[in-house]
Structure 1
Amino acid sequence: MHQIDPEMKACMDACHECHVTCLHMAMNHCLEAGGRHAEPQHMKIMADCAQICAVAIDFMARKSEHHRHICRECAEICRACASSCEGLDGMEDCVAACRKCADACDKMAA
């Protein structure tokens, strides 16, 4: 059985947590809260973040030679999502998940 590198596994876990958190918050909390929470630009960055996290997981699981630049892009999008979520009520979990994922992806991209 091939072992997944522990640092890569940690990154995949952080990506998974971010993916689920962003999707859940966008489709539930943000839509229900309305106002600034439901603005198109905010909803789009949350969807982008969830999607790039899922893509990054796939690339790492396959040990794709392209995983480094996918992870670099993922870190950038996660930071943009964290910025968009900052200052909106009840979005602390999302900000934290995005930041943790961005930091983990930076390590993978290095």
Structure 2
Amino acid sequence: MEAKATAKYIRISHRKMKFICDMVRGKDLDEALAILKFTPKKGARELEKVVKSAAANAENNFDLDRDKLYVSKVSADMGPTLKRWRPRAKGAAYKILKRTSHINVTVEERV
């Protein structure tokens, strides 16, 4: 049995999130949370919330044992991009792309 959690429209690039996702994929739940707690990246805090939510979903909705849970799937997909403009010299304007991402976490029980 698996439990899922998703966070959408997180204001961080999906490319930056992929490095953090790779660190916790396949790890036990407590080990993954410890890694995320001590990772000094903005995305680690966001991913920690989603992993905790997936663990809570597993416990409350599916009656899975928290001690046997591990992070089976983690992905950071590209969300919509906010487009902004920065004025430059001689009436020009440069484009600023504020990227977002969608984070998906699946936890499963080890057999």
Q: Which has the higher strand share?
A: 2
TM-score by length of 2: 0.33
Structure richer in helix, relative to its length: 1
